[in-house]
Structure 1
Amino acid sequence: MNALIATDLDRTMIYSESALAAPPGPDSVCVEIYRDAPLSFMTQSGVDALTALAARTPVVPVTTRTRAQFERIMLPGRPFRFAVVSNGGRILCDGEDDVGWRAALQARVRDRSVPLADLHADLLTRIDESWVRATRVADDLFAYLVVDTERQPADFLASWNEWCVPRGWTVSQQGRKIYAMPVGVTKSAAIAEVRRRLVDDGALSADAPVLAAGDGRLDADMLESADHAIRPRHGELHDSGWTIPGLAVTRRAGIAAGEEILAWFAAHTPDSPTPDHTALDIPVPDPAFAEK
């Protein structure tokens, strides 16, 4: 029996300089360059751990980033057979877009949510340049804002959520970004499809567990649907006190949490070698961790 590992990227596996919780040190490895400048980092220990993990068990990167944004990342362990981008809006198989998945998803979205154009038109009536730095439509699928949190009206999120929910949209704020996502677009649905395919072609045993990690509200459904889940001691879920039965939480925050998550994955992957916890300076995970 092996396992399927599904991991969020930003602020879970990779970290911008502002999310590191410490200045980049000699152990920091740049894994993304944007506009000729380093943008995202892992530690060398994290790079080594993810490379080793991906060599022996299926690892699926899962992100709200679009395909183009995801492909900027030089993620250790690549190439990955499957990746999930646009919050589950697209599945990449051997680097190519799965058009069948996208077509089926768009049909579900049409059935359950008002059109993106309607949502965007309403959004523009609620915002102004005094607190919104950018408005984006991503992958012709969802919308998000980049905001000045100190100037953001206190009632904006609740007010817009009241409009969105009955129209088949969900609203989530992750730091400076506020997302509006169709209810049919989820990371958990895409991971379930990837797992089905891996089982069907014999790459994954039918009883293989799904292990998942993430830090934000848009990761919550993936963590809930996994057999075992972990989140870092930072981010939207941590700040709200979010938990589920059996959930593991890292001891540390920032980039060090990424190392801890990888050690947890390794320790809870059936038939895997024992990880070097001493090198990572984290507690040895309890092998009898709670079942969900």
Structure 2
Amino acid sequence: MIFASDLDRTLIYSRRLIEENDKNSVLVERYLGEELSFMKESVINKLKKLRNKVLFIPVTTRTIDQYNRIFGIKDEIKPKYAIVSNGGNILIDGQIDTEWRNKIKTDVDKIINYRFIEKRFLQNFKDTSWINKMIFRDGLFFSIHFKDKNLIDIEELENFKQWAEKNHWKVSLQTRKLYLVPEPVNKWSALIYIKNKEKKKKIISAGDSFLDYPLLINADYSICAAHGELKELIEKNDVKQKHITMTERIGINASEEIISIVENLV
């Protein structure tokens, strides 16, 4: 069995998302001397024990470098596999799986290229002053950073989204970022590749954001963090998605509930 989980706001949380007096959270990521992310100590300990029963796979939109900063996952839990770059890269014991990366390159080369997407995106908006920066991540997808979601012209964005999806690109508007991702680059396809490689039969998944939706909708059993952007979408489609459980707790406390559910399933 596989337990595949998103990281940010599912298992790990930034300082601003945890209580100041939370003594049960430990530092798991540091960057340029700054303490960035934390996990419940109980979650780390339980994940270590779960390794003997399930194949734990971190699944994240983070780039390779961003994932490698999370020493609490990489060095403490030491998962054999990590799916990073939103599924564009798979790490096996920290090394890039070149077979998967070559497949992704072949699939992406068949659709509209990155430069054309970038140009079309910027030309789509009459006013682009809401964009702080547009970054091409791991040579695979764009992340667009902004300060205020209310400054985005939603009608213009929807028009671009419709055009992009016809051309095999996905557009995902998050709380503080907008992602432009080629269709072949997705978390679920990477997970299926590992599932087949390891000859596993079932997948338990966990996540909180729209980019985690393929994981949750396709897994055998899924857990959605109740504070996430996916909550409303899943509740709207509840009849078709009975295999998805919503956590009762929110924030970093939801991570403990997620792991407890997984423990009861394996």
Matches within 5 A, 1:47-66: 47-66=44-63
- The equivalent residue for 1:9 is 7
Matching of residues 1-292 of structure 1 within 5 Å: 3-20=1-18, 22-23=19-20, 25-76=22-73, 77-111=76-110, 113-126=111-124, 130-147=129-146, 148-199=148-199, 204=200, 208-242=201-235, 243=238, 244-269=241-266
Name the Cα RMSD after superposition: 1.7
C-alpha contact 2:122 2:128 (8 A) present in aligned 1: no
Report which stretch shifted further, 48-57 or 162-171. 48-57
Structure 2, unpaired ranges of 5+? none
Unaligned runs of 5+ in 1: 270-292
Amino acid at match of 1:229: S
CA distance in 2, matches of 1:260, 1:209: 20
Task: Return the offset for 1:165.
Answer: 1.1
Instruction: Answer whether contact 1:174 1:235 (CA < 8 A) is retained.
Output: no
Which amino acid in 1 is paired with 2:218?
Answer: S
Between the aligned partners of 2:265 and 2:85, the Cα distance in structure 1 is 28
Q: So what's the TM-score if we normalise by structure 2?
A: 0.91
- The secondary structure found in structure 2 opposite 1:50 is helix
Contact 2:27 2:72 in 1 (8 A): no
Shift in CA distance, 54/156, structure 1 to aligned 2, threshold 3 Å: farther
- Give the 4+ runs in structure 1 shifted more than 3 A: 126-130, 239-243
Q: Percent of counterpart pairs with the same letter?
A: 33
Residues of 2 paired with 1:166 and 1:228: CA distance?
30
1:195 partner SS: helix
- Any idea what SS the aligned residue of 2:100 has? helix
- Give TM-score scaled by structure 1 length: 0.83
SS in 2 for 1:253: coil
Counterpart code for 1:17? R
For residues 128-178 of structure 1, what are the alpha-carbon distances to aligned partners after superposition, in whole Å with 9 as ceiling and x for unaligned? 563222211111111111112232233343122022111110111121011
Cα shift at 1:45: 1.7
Is the 1:64–1:87 Cα contact (8 Å) retained in structure 2? yes
**Tell me, what secondary structure is at the counterpart of 1:63?**
coil
Q: When the two structures are aligned, how many residues end up with a matched partner?
A: 258
Checking the alignment, whether the CA contact within 8 Å between 1:27 and 1:44 is kept in structure 2 is yes
The 1:154/1:251 distance shift into structure 2, 3 A limit, reads same
Question: CA 1:122–1:83 in 2, change beyond 3 Å: closer, same or farther?
Answer: same
